[in-house]
A and B are shown apart, each in its own frame.
Chain A
Amino acid sequence: MKLRLLKEFIIEKLIFLSGIASILFVILIFTFLLKEGISFFKEIGLKDFIGGKYWYPISEPERFGILPLILGSLLVTLGAIIIAVPLSIACAFYISEVVQGKAKDILKSGIEMLAAIPSVVLGFIGIVTLVPWMKKVLNLPTGLTALSGSIMLGLMAMPTIISISEDAINAVPKAYKEGALALGATRWQAMYRVVIYAALPGIIAASMLGIGRVIGETMAVMMLSGNAAVIPSTLLEPVRTLTATIAAEMGEAVHGGLHYYSLFAIGIILFVITFMINVIADIFLHRNKK
């Protein structure tokens, strides 16, 4: 009897530990980031860091303004959203409302496959297909542009958005659709006048999670968007994102130097952005469940 109680106790504690482990990891990562980044903010103020227009970390005197990087990230992300969200919502509706039987299963597993492709492979494919094509068709000096990054990132965000949106659409009570049809609505009218409103919180949450993925993505965007740390004015120029900066420069930065710490500071900014997006997504997902 006593042994059983002990067993219960151990199992309970083990489950508890694994439960809080994820939270613990987040806290540890954030403290580590803060610890490394904070000394940078002591040297260079937050305002100069975020508002500065020039990112010359190794020139003399060095400049640590990440505004071009933030704008680069935002531009690429915005482009990716514009591409991915409408396509994904349409795709989710197609899967849950239109297509049936075997084709549905094929489509669903196809989308899961898309999520499984490593981003470096997507970036590589982009470099050999998308980039030259862009250059030729749009007649640009280089195909490595924000738009190329947006297209690939949009592609990468789609599986997340599609599968969560589809869940949300599936969770819409059948009664809404029946009610609309019984009033003489066509299937299409029932969808865009009723079902989409019921599924909206879930669709928004899905989009936010997709955006979170896009902002945090590094490899493909580094390979495709040209990496020029200048403030972009159109989608057809090379840009550099926050993530690409960290990935590209971490290896070269002198350990313990200001440049090194500045990359951690970028990490903090990135963390804050994705954290906020996840929180917003969570709020909408939660609202959906109610």
Chain B
Amino acid sequence: MTIDVDKVREDFPILDRTVRDQRRLVYLDSAATSQKPIEVLEAEAEYYRTCNAAVHRGAHQLAEEATDAYESARARLAAFVGATPDQLVFTKNATESLNLAAYAFTNSSVPHGQGDADPRFVVGPGDTIVVTQMEHHANLVPWQEVCARTGATLRWLGVDDDGRLELDDLDRVIDETTRVVSVVHQSNILGTLNPVRLLMDRAHEVGAIGIVDACQSVPHQHVDVHELGADLMAWSGHKMLGPTGIGMLWGRPDVLEGMPPFITGGSMIETVFMDHSTFAAPPKRFEAGTPMVAQAVGAAAGAAYLERLGMDDVAEHEHQLTGYALERLRAMPGVRIIGPSDNHERGSAISFVVDGIHAHDVGQFLDDRGVAVRVGHHCAWPTCRRFGVPATTRMSSYIYNDTADIDVALDAIRAAQDFFGA
């Protein structure tokens, strides 16, 4: 293994606890949220202990130090994806990041009285917005809303039986009417790693804005915004060892510059009069109100931890574990993998169904043996419908998992099969 899992585990105190009658915790739900190493917890606590203050204001030393901590976090998280700090907007989570992007279109498309909307963000009847059939609800529902409010039409790229995007009709789905292409980099339910570069290039070919939901890729592999070719990219802190309450939206400078604000109020203004206001330049334009300073600091500590391990080693470690799990799941009678069953262009999230046993019941058996997995539709209900299943069980591994964890999970699946006679 490329990562010393025993050593990594020492940094994650939660993995020492037991669950359900003294069972060792086997945490295979990192696609939902990752666990946090001590240094992330410490970074957050240290911020509150030593320099907590309101950022970007206040004429005192604490305010200076707090601002420095916040902006240093921004710089580190931007660098983590090959970007510069002025291109990184902090939000409360990736869902908000994607809504920020979606509302740029809605807000540019409704009459504002000033007529100064950037035409790249104005959509209406006859225009199309393209997503995929494997989007998380967070990258689907906001676009449904944009369409409902502006009269634009939603289109999507389908998913084949192996959980891969159907790209044969790419040029038909993304055409001259397309104004937005917003796609998931790595599916949270199927594990599929999508050819985002291809989709972004096609988006730009037709003059559309290209957006990537990178929640499941940034924590698990080296991601560079320039290599992806996106205009905007959203991801979250809590899936990459950071705390909850912090999300990121990276944007190409000229794209961010053309976007109207989403949430308005303090901190995001340039000047304010009684009857109108002007807005600050990005990224501050999109950070109204007191920001999540401690969470940003924690997320940056998470990024630092991952950088120290090395993202290529993280990816290789997960690739090996995923291969181990896929091989064994494929060999289990009555188990069907929902998503790519070969260990190629896919991440560590593995969804499966067990014949005759609902995912909830499978999950209950795993839980009984200390294994934490996610069951349900994984906020990708249309994807479940595509595969004709009401729900799946999903196990997702990360830097602190090893093959012994996978074995415990597989044993629990067999126990559920025995119990239900499936």
The answer to whether A binds B is no
